[in-house]
A and B are shown apart, each in its own frame.
Chain A
């Protein structure tokens, strides 16, 4: 393993451990408002200062990381499985199946997904807890984010279908599900892994974008999206550099995922 990947692993482990230990590291929680100390700079009581309504930024970063890092992989898993089902199966079966599956994929790709998400969020019942809201947000991201991966998997599965070893297996008498599970799926795995790793940073960034639109995670629950909103009105970098903590964290996590992903790509 190269040094870069080792560092990436270490960074991810550190970030995940810190967010898992949020209850101990920031016992006051992410929603407590210190109204007498709003927009405070870092101090021994508030390591990253406080936000505009006096909430401890360090606690919010930790809890926000927990949410984004737990749910983005879950959404990535959902979208990869859907891509595997639609794309992989269509590629393997070929013919009319492939054409129909790709038509559905094209339809999904042509949808203005951002507006679709806004509409879906607006259609949700109003009285949902912040936890449900965040789950629904990532579920939607997972349900809508499978299409690009499906195209890749369809092409890979199609090439596998006509490959020599599959033909040999077929000539040897293997057919149907057995052929699919024994010879096609194992050869699709590296592509599936790659698609999974690619999706994680994409969903983290998508949630961040939704958060900026006020449509992601409901208050008072933090997410990287809502934390990044603070940077909107920042005029200069030197003014309040501690506000960049969530951005730096996001960059570190996304870069770490990318470094690990490159290993998966090589394997693929």
Chain B
């Protein structure tokens, strides 16, 4: 009996081992399947996409579709902010910054099976620079008059020569999705991980996996993992949030702080605060000579000392904490620390000091009388801050600034205007005293802000379209901006833009207040998500995302 029992024990032992091994194998197989597979990622576009032509993109929704479907020569890694090879294996910039040569990958095909070659790149560049197309993406490449020349050296080699140096030329190709010069499907033939499969106007855009996508993961598995992406067109953020909570959506790419906190209280595992984004909120005074405001006020606003004092009297920590519930950082200058390369690390946010502000003003002849600040001619310091009606964060910031400035005897009238009226005052009539608005930065490179910093520019908001720079520091900014734009030496460009940032922080034509954090929400069913500060925050690595069953 004992032997029998022992025999049976011996029989059972290998049997259990086999079952355990089978379970482990099955588990690993299931694990692979989860990682690979698949599923459908669902999220919302907040507006209707205006175009599927990647060269004509100017709205966020079309930009999202371009990002998910378009194949680019090089890609800015949204996490490291470094430029990485994509369709181009290598690239080389000429010393004069006018020419770029790409060595392309071979054996790639568009989603419809058409072969990819240097001819397609040449066709795309020709389309991009065609004045008749009015490509907003192409505008960034227009550095001077003359034609852009493309030279196809072989099916995998091409060089592109521009009439004048283009600063940050290689990074600009991150936005250029390559079109097929031969496909009958035109822009619907793509090289990116997904392709447009269906579009119902006002309802959904369905993207399906591109069967000819060239990338594989480290284990040799074909990318993307997802079968499809369903983009529901939904402008209402409350509905978007409700659907996300119900599990009908997998992610919300950008949240505001109130929604973030509401979601965080119930489901903290779903929300992500990636830290300070590139977006800034700022206040500026009207310095336009012909503006219809009293002369004595123009004198205040022209005084750097006055602007610095106002800046010092604003409690930025409170703006971040109270208005944005801590999901914002006091701004140090024109660029956020989120811009790893271009941010001037020497700059620090202005310290809050009402006493310091008052002293600075007193040195300029201002004096306090019965709790009211008066200038040297006895005029009470009163001015208005306008902002756009309906933006509750800006309205709250304005009210906080109103109380901060009241502490140094300055009376502020907060005025909310509908956006068209505000823009009309800002750009046409110049009938305003101070404006509180924000800048949304999508470009890491300072060249994207040439239209803000050059004194001759229309968007040089505090005093636009100057024939010649009206102040020495604006002339210096012009010089430095032009110097960095015409150089291909990254170190020299950085030095020049560092100087621009220092001048701006010293002179405070813009009083930078805060940088909002990049907030997002991602369902736990999405695998591989790593939200970042650069757009698109949550699906920048869409090809490596997977969705498991809920």
Cβ A54 vs Cβ B433 within 8 A: no
CA distance A215 to B387 in the complex (A): 12
Cβ B402 vs Cβ A35 within 8 A: no
Separation in Å of the B463 CB from the closest CB of chain A? 18
Cβ B389 vs Cβ A215 within 8 A: yes
CA distance A213 to B390 in the complex (A): 7
Q: Which of A38-97 contact B (CB under 8 A)?
A: 38, 52-54
Contacts of A127 in B (CB 8 A): 382-384, 413, 433
Cβ B389 vs Cβ A53 within 8 A: no
Cβ A38 vs Cβ B432 within 8 A: no
Q: Chain B residue with minimal CB distance to A214?
A: B389
Q: Chain A residue with minimal CB distance to B414?
A: A219
CA distance A2 to B415 in the complex (A): 46
Cβ B402 vs Cβ A219 within 8 A: yes
Q: Which of B293-346 contact A (CB under 8 A)?
A: 318, 321-323
Separation in Å of the B34 CB from the closest CB of chain A? 33
Contacts of A4 in B (CB 8 A): none
Is A233 an interface residue when CB atoms closer than 8 A count as contact?
yes
Q: Which segment of B62-70, B99-107, B363-371, B416-424 sits at the interface?
A: B416-424
Is B403 an interface residue when CB atoms closer than 8 A count as contact?
yes
CA distance A218 to B389 in the complex (A): 11
Cβ A33 vs Cβ B400 within 8 A: yes
Is A190 an interface residue when CB atoms closer than 8 A count as contact?
no
Among A35, A122, A232, the residue within 8 A (CB) of B318 is A35
CA distance A213 to B238 in the complex (A): 19
Cβ A215 vs Cβ B416 within 8 A: yes
Contacts of B399 in A (CB 8 A): 33, 53, 219-220
Cβ B389 vs Cβ A128 within 8 A: no
Is A111 an interface residue when CB atoms closer than 8 A count as contact?
no
Separation in Å of the B410 CB from the closest CB of chain A? 13
CA distance A213 to B417 in the complex (A): 9
Cβ A118 vs Cβ B418 within 8 A: yes
Is B398 an interface residue when CB atoms closer than 8 A count as contact?
yes
Cβ B413 vs Cβ A130 within 8 A: yes
Among A33, A35, A219, the residue within 8 A (CB) of B395 is A219
Residue interface bits A206-222, CB-to-B below 8 A is 1, else 0 = 00000001110011100
Q: Chain B residue with minimal CB distance to A52?
A: B396
Q: Which of B367-391 contact A (CB under 8 A)?
A: 382-384, 386, 389-390
CA distance A218 to B384 in the complex (A): 11
Cβ B402 vs Cβ A220 within 8 A: yes
Contacts of B398 in A (CB 8 A): 219
Among A53, A129, A218, the residue within 8 A (CB) of B400 is A53
Contacts of A122 in B (CB 8 A): 417-418, 421
CA distance A233 to B393 in the complex (A): 13
Cβ A126 vs Cβ B418 within 8 A: no
Q: Chain B residue with minimal CB distance to A130?
A: B413
Is A255 an interface residue when CB atoms closer than 8 A count as contact?
no
Cβ B258 vs Cβ A233 within 8 A: yes
Separation in Å of the B325 CB from the closest CB of chain A? 9
Among A35, A219, A233, the residue within 8 A (CB) of B322 is A35
Contacts of B402 in A (CB 8 A): 219-220
Q: Helix, strand, loop or mixed for chain A's interface?
A: loop
Q: Which of A127-169 contact B (CB under 8 A)?
A: 127-130
Cβ B322 vs Cβ A213 within 8 A: no
Q: Chain B residue with minimal CB distance to A123?
A: B421
Contacts of B151 in A (CB 8 A): none
Is B95 an interface residue when CB atoms closer than 8 A count as contact?
no
Tell me how many residues of B have a C-beta within 8 Å of chain A: 31
Is B262 an interface residue when CB atoms closer than 8 A count as contact?
yes
Tell me how many residues of A have a C-beta within 8 Å of chain B: 24
Contacts of A35 in B (CB 8 A): 318, 321-322, 400
Is A31 an interface residue when CB atoms closer than 8 A count as contact?
yes
CA distance A31 to B238 in the complex (A): 30
Cβ A218 vs Cβ B390 within 8 A: no
Cβ A53 vs Cβ B322 within 8 A: yes
CA distance A52 to B322 in the complex (A): 7
Q: Chain B residue with minimal CB distance to A128?
A: B413
Q: Chain B residue with minimal CB distance to A31?
A: B403
Cβ B262 vs Cβ A235 within 8 A: yes
CA distance A142 to B262 in the complex (A): 41
Cβ A126 vs Cβ B322 within 8 A: no
Separation in Å of the A217 CB from the closest CB of chain B? 11
Contacts of B413 in A (CB 8 A): 126-130, 218
Separation in Å of the A82 CB from the closest CB of chain B? 28
CA distance A219 to B392 in the complex (A): 12
Residue interface bits B20-43, CB-to-A below 8 A is 1, else 0 = 000000000000000000000000
CA distance A219 to B398 in the complex (A): 9
Contacts of A214 in B (CB 8 A): 389-390, 395, 416
CA distance A199 to B47 in the complex (A): 40
Separation in Å of the A137 CB from the closest CB of chain B? 13
Contacts of A229 in B (CB 8 A): 392
Residue among A118, A127, A235 with max Cβ neighbours from chain B (10 Å): A127
Contacts of A232 in B (CB 8 A): 392
Q: Chain B residue with minimal CB distance to A127?
A: B384
Contacts of B258 in A (CB 8 A): 233
CA distance A107 to B224 in the complex (A): 63
Cβ A218 vs Cβ B415 within 8 A: yes
Contacts of A31 in B (CB 8 A): 403
Contacts of A130 in B (CB 8 A): 413
CA distance A77 to B21 in the complex (A): 89
Contacts of A52 in B (CB 8 A): 322, 396
Cβ B322 vs Cβ A54 within 8 A: yes
CA distance A38 to B321 in the complex (A): 10
Contacts of B390 in A (CB 8 A): 213-214
Among B383, B396, B433, the residue within 8 A (CB) of A53 is B396
Q: Chain A residue with minimal CB distance to B434?
A: A126
Contacts of B262 in A (CB 8 A): 235
Q: Chain A residue with minimal CB distance to B391?
A: A214
Separation in Å of the B311 CB from the closest CB of chain A? 19
Among B389, B400, B403, B432, the residue within 8 A (CB) of A126 is B432
Contacts of B396 in A (CB 8 A): 52-53
Separation in Å of the B51 CB from the closest CB of chain A? 31
Cβ B383 vs Cβ A38 within 8 A: no
Residue interface bits A170-189, CB-to-B below 8 A is 1, else 0 = 00000000000000000000
- Known pairs A35-B322, A128-B413, A233-B238 / 18 extra A-B pairs, C-beta < 8 Å: A35-B400, A52-B396, A53-B322, A53-B323, A53-B399, A53-B400, A122-B418, A126-B386, A126-B413, A126-B432, A127-B382, A127-B433, A129-B413, A214-B390, A219-B395, A219-B398, A219-B399, A220-B399
19 A-B contacts (beta carbon < 8 Å): A31-B403, A33-B403, A35-B322, A53-B322, A53-B323, A118-B418, A122-B418, A122-B421, A126-B413, A129-B413, A213-B390, A214-B395, A215-B389, A215-B418, A218-B413, A219-B399, A220-B402, A220-B414, A229-B392
> CB within 8 Å of B: which residues of A?
31, 33, 35, 38, 52-54, 118, 122, 126-130, 213-215, 218-220, 229, 232-233, 235
> CB within 8 Å of A: which residues of B?
238, 258, 262, 318, 321-323, 382-384, 386, 389-390, 392, 395-396, 398-400, 402-403, 413-418, 421, 431-433
